[in-house]
Amino acid sequence: MAGGGWSSLPADLLREVSGRLYSDADHLHIHQVCTHWRAATLPVSACRPWVVAGRALQRGLVPIGDYSLRLPGGGAERMDAGLRRAPPGLRHCCGASRGWLALTDDARSPTRLALWEPLSGAEIPLPCLSPITRVSLSGDPLASPGWVAMVSQLKGREGQKTLVCRRGDAAWTVLFERGTSEIDTVVFHRGKVYYIDILRNIVVCDLDAKCTQVFHACTPVSMLCSCDKFHPERGVHLVACDGEVLLVVVRWGGHPSLAEIYRPEWKGNHQLGLGERVMDLGDHSLFVGRGDTFSLSAKEFPAIKRNCVYYADKNYKQQHWISVFHLEQPDVVEEIPYPEELKEDMINWMPHSWFCPRRPLFTQERA
């Protein structure tokens, strides 16, 4: 460095530094230093939330050659560079969590299962299960020593069971064996895992004590509406934000507030109570839908809006795949249309999950 100054830093060192940066703003600063720094570091857009998009196949597995990571707006730019480095033979995606993709070699009878990080190409093998429906992570495997992987597996024709695998385990351990429907949302928070199935049941498991509670969210959520007409829910999701778990209710049209956020109350007798309604998330916004959910700060990611709910879901009635609900203006909803190249095949294409490249902020959450 003595001869050429800061502009002579090796490219691999610059990539290592940029991989540890926290926000869009930090990446913008490093790009403004010089041409060499800009060429050697990740683009600013790579740090924003993306959408895992693809065709829905049996058990929700998506062929890796037919899915992509896309920015939700601005032309829906596709992340091609990382996808071309996918591990050979792992052709199916069965989860997107903490900036990692869970990949397997076959949709029907998998023999390999691995976690893969698209930006760095890091790969971590997991014990394989057959069949597999979705893999979720409690933390970033490269930054959280106590990370846990959770997988859902078919149990008979209608139910599923959930299993966990900790770092270094040679096999999966059953976490909850009672049959549940397909898992819709998974949240890890302070040593517990919360997940919702498509029947609106909330299951809470203590990862250490292996204690399980089942809360039925369907009835109280349906009774939220005080209007004369019944307004069904479009989705019910949990998300960790600023040190607490929040319940997000997204409705179809015809309701004054199409997205509502509550602090859930975990009562006795396995009953869920809806506590205080949250109207202001400060600088944060929530990213919800099927699969991984998370919150991000608009101060650190200027490309997103503050105090909003970003919702990714298959919508058969309208021509968009992302909805943005503004909490301060309940009647304002932004609709982000399908990418141009997917519009002719919207019936088959769908957003499978939000995906945020692995960031240091995820290491602050305890498994």
Sign of the C-alpha dihedral, residues 281, 362, 321, 299?
positive
Q: Are residues 182 and 215 in the same domain?
A: yes
What pTM did the predictor assign? 0.81
Q: Are residues 174 and 228 in the same domain?
A: yes
Most confident of 57-71, 76-90, 221-235: 76-90
Span 284-308, average pLDDT: 87
Q: Are residues 138 and 41 in the same domain?
A: no
Q: Are residues 39 and 54 in the same domain?
A: no
Q: Are residues 27 and 149 in the same domain?
A: no
Q: Are residues 173 and 218 in the same domain?
A: yes
Most confident of 3-12, 52-61, 147-156: 147-156
Residue 303 banded pLDDT, cuts 50, 70, 90: confident
Report the C-alpha gap between 318 and 335 in whole angstroms.
Answer: 9
Span 223-239, average pLDDT: 71
% of the chain surpassing 90 pLDDT: 14
Q: Are residues 24 and 61 in the same domain?
A: no
User: Given a cut of 60, is residue 220 above it in pLDDT?
Assistant: no
Report the C-alpha gap between 196 and 200 in whole angstroms.
Answer: 6
Q: Residue 216 — φ and ψ, nearest 5°?
A: -95, 110
For residue 137, give the nearest of 123, 127, 151, 124 by alpha carbon.
151
Q: Which residue has the higher pLDDT, 210 or 281?
A: 281
| Per-residue pLDDT, 345 | 66
Q: Which residue has the higher pLDDT, 343 or 144?
A: 144
Q: Are residues 274 and 348 in the same domain?
A: yes
Domain stop point among 47, 67, 82 = 47
Report the C-alpha gap between 189 and 167 in whole angstroms.
Answer: 18
Q: Are residues 24 and 102 in the same domain?
A: no
Q: Please, what is the average pLDDT of the chain?
A: 75
Q: Are residues 29 and 79 in the same domain?
A: no
Q: Are residues 151 and 208 in the same domain?
A: yes
Burial of 175 (0-12, 13-18, 19+ CB in 10 A): buried
Residue 244 banded pLDDT, cuts 50, 70, 90: very high
| Per-residue pLDDT, 366 | 37
Q: Structurally, how many domains does the chain consist of?
A: 2
Domain that holds residue 21: 1-47
Per the document, the length of the chain is 367
Q: Which residue has the higher pLDDT, 56 or 328?
A: 328
| Per-residue pLDDT, 302 | 75
User: Given a cut of 80, is residue 178 above it in pLDDT?
Assistant: no
The full 3-state SS of 318-335, as one line of letters, equals CCEEEEEEECCCCCCEEE
| Per-residue pLDDT, 47 | 65
Question: Six-digit token pair at 299?
Answer: 């101060």
% of the chain surpassing 70 pLDDT: 66
Sign of the C-alpha dihedral, residues 201, 202, 207, 211?
negative
Weakest-pLDDT range from 135-139, 292-296, 297-301, 321-325: 297-301
User: Given a cut of 90, is residue 193 above it in pLDDT?
Assistant: no
Query: Residue type at 271?
Result: Q
Question: Six-digit token pair at 211?
Answer: 């204690």
| pLDDT tens figures, 90-149 | 878 888 898 898 988 887 788 999 999 887 788 999 999 887 778 999 988 988 888 999
Q: Are residues 192 and 341 in the same domain?
A: yes
| Residue 169's CATH number | 2.120.10
